[in-house]
Amino acid sequence: MRKLSVLLASAGILCAAYVFSFGVPEPLKLTFGMDVAELEEQRQDRGGRGERGAQETIVVMKPLAARAYNLVLSTIGTATSLRSVELVSGVSGEIMDVSIDANGVVAAGDVLVQLDNRAEQLALNAASAEHQQAQDLFDRYETLRNNGNSTITDIIFVETEVDLKLAKINVDVAQNALDARAITATIDGTLGLSDLHVGDYLSVGDAVVTINDSTVIVAEFEVPERSIALLEAGKTVQIGTPTYAGRVFDGVITAFDTTLDPTSRSATVRARIDNPDGALIAGMTFTVRIVEKTDPLPVVPATAITWSRDGAKIWVVEDGSVSPHAIAIRYRNGTRVWVETDVPLDATIVTEGAAKLRAGTAVTDAAGAER
């Protein structure tokens, strides 16, 4: 029974294929009372449509459009402070006082470490006394001379004047020695960590503390040789950091190397980032993006491009047939390709089905064919 059903179904399919291709046989037409002329006309209509369809290739067409391309360079950089100072001791002595609070904000001139200054204070007092004595003697000689006293010769007066100047110098030297016992902040900024305590002995050259001015951060990164053309002082860059995922900081390129590194074939670039809230700190890892828009270029889908020994081509539709036109590929992004070509904008091109075309092939738009 199953074999019989299969045979009957096969016979039905064969009969239907025969009727579709060659029409209904004359005996059957008469048997079913069909109008012979009408059936023949229907068959010819079907044949005519099939012949025209065979002559035209169905493709997808669209006008050629232009769009700017975003050149994007992504790289990794490191944060540094615009100004960073590591204070070291220029003198030696016992620490009498420490005013270093980690992460504390200081102003230039603030005293951070006070060394024992008693000897320097005594030396300043002695120098000041000698200066005062020299000043009194000079004033007395000057008064006598102005009153016509001949005992104050020019030589004596000049020697007194020189002694006064030397005494003033000694005061200044003693004052500088006293000031050096106080280690002060040299810039405005934020203090780092310090292990100094009262009673410690500080030697010449010992590290005191690091001060970072983080109101402005500098991002330093490398740019490969192929992207050197993107560099320009004043150009905006986009900065990101894993610490603040999703947040973008704007930076401005301030400087870059004019010579490539011979090993990495890259140039070092620095960008300035305003950091008024102190969110960024020195040493952070940055992701850096430089974006530049090109002039508008013709853009086509990748399916519109065919290849031959002569290079890449797109197909232009004119008067129902196609002709190939050479292109130069400039950029790619996903399925879109930016090209250079002599084809004018808004010309109709084949965007799908180009692989089956030859010069002069008659085509019809798939959208029109569906209708």
Collapsing DSSP to helix, strand or coil, 200 comes out as coil
Q: Please state the length of the chain.
A: 371
Q: Identity (one letter) of the amino acid at 294?
A: T
User: Is residue 337 very low, low, confident or very high in pLDDT (cuts 50, 70, 90)?
Assistant: very high
Cβ 210 vs Cβ 283: under 8 Å = no
**199 C-beta neighbours (distance < 10 Å), count:** 9
pLDDT confidence bin for 149, thresholds 50/70/90:
confident
Instruction: With respect to residue 44, please indicate whether it lies within any of the assigned structural domains.
Output: yes
Per-residue pLDDT at 366: 83
Mean pLDDT along residues 175-182: 94
Residue 197 lies in a domain: no
Which residue, of 55, 70, 91, is where some domain finishes?
Answer: 55
C-alpha 252/C-alpha 271 separation (Å) is: 5
How far is the C-alpha of 240 from the C-alpha of 245, rounded, in Å? 7
Work out whether strand 57-63 and strand 348-352 pair parallel, antiparallel, or are unpaired: antiparallel
Counting residues of the chain whose pLDDT is more than 90, the rounded percentage is 53
How does residue 277 score in pLDDT terms, banded at 50, 70 and 90?
confident
Which pLDDT value is given to residue 36? 45
Q: pLDDT above 70 covers what percent of the chain?
A: 84
How do residues 360-369 score in pLDDT, each as one tens digit? Answer: 999 998 876 5
Question: Looking at 39, 55, 71, which one is the last position of a domain?
Answer: 55
The Cα–Cα gap between 195 and 191 comes to 12
Token pair 């692989």 is at which residue? 355
Beta bridge partners of 332: 337
Residue 202 has a pLDDT of: 93
Q: What is the pLDDT of residues 243-269, one digit of tens each?
A: 898 899 999 999 999 888 888 899 999
pLDDT at 51 over 80: no
Confidence band of 99 (pLDDT split at 50, 70, 90): very high
Please list, in sequence order, all residues whose beta carbon lies within 8 angstroms of the beta carbon of residue 317, skipping any fewer than 6 positions away: 61, 348, 349, 350, 363
Q: Quick one: average pLDDT of 76-90?
A: 90
CA atoms within 13 A on the CB side of 103: 3
Residue type, 17: A
Spatial distance between the Cα atoms of 217 and 274, rounded to a whole number of angstroms: 6
State how far the Cα of 58 lies from the Cα of 364, in Å rounded to an integer: 5
Amino acid at 35: D
Distance of CA 185 to the CA centre of its chain: 34
Token readout for 97 is 């006082």
The residue ranking higher by pLDDT, 347 or 45, is 347
Phi-psi region of 369 (alpha: psi -120 to 50; beta: other; left: phi over 0): alpha
Look up residue 186 and give its DSSP letter: S
Q: Computed from CA positions of residues 162, 163, 167, 168, in that sequence, does the dihedral angle turn out positive or negative?
A: negative
| 198: nearest Cα among 77, 98, 49 | 98
Closest CA relative to residue 347, chosen from 366, 325, 369, 371: 325
Residue 235 pLDDT greater than 80, yes or no: yes
Once rounded to an integer, what is the mean pLDDT over residues 328-340?
Answer: 92
How much is the average pLDDT of 148-171?
88
Cα 335 to Cα 21, 59, 338: the distances in Å are: 42, 18, 10
How high is the pLDDT of residue 32?
45
User: In Å, how far from its chain's centre is CA 286?
Assistant: 9
Residue 146 has pLDDT above 90, yes or no: no
3 confidence band (pLDDT: 50, 70, 90): low
Q: Is 196 part of any domain?
A: no
Q: Is residue 41 part of a domain?
A: yes
Mean pLDDT of 184-201: 91
Does residue 51 sit within a domain? Answer: yes
Give the per-residue pLDDT at 249.
92
On whether residue 326 sits in a domain, the answer given is yes
Least confident of 43-47, 62-66, 213-217: 43-47
* Alpha carbons 60 and 348: distance in angstroms, whole number: 10
The residue ranking higher by pLDDT, 294 or 96, is 96
The answer as to whether 169 is a domain residue is no
Distance between CA atoms of residues 242 and 79, nearest Å = 13
In which band, very low, low, confident or very high, does the pLDDT at 156 lie, cut at 50, 70 and 90? confident
CATH at 325? 2.40.420.20
**Beta-carbon count within 10 A of 133 CB:** 13
**pLDDT at residue number 369:** 56
Average pLDDT, the chain: 84
Radius of gyration of the chain measured on its C-alpha atoms: 46
**Boundary residue ending a domain (38, 55, 72):** 55
SS3 of the chain: helix, strand, coil, percent, to 5 = 35, 40, 30
CA distance 352 to 60: 5
pLDDT at res. 48: 43
Distance CA 118, CA 271 (A): 48
Q: Is the pLDDT of residue 339 over 70?
A: yes
Q: Which residues form the domain of 10? A: 2-55
- Lowest average pLDDT, out of 24-28, 126-130, 271-275, 336-340, goes to 24-28
Structurally, how many domains does the chain consist of?
2
C-alpha to C-alpha distance for 61 and 76, rounded to whole angstroms: 43
**47 located within any domain:** yes
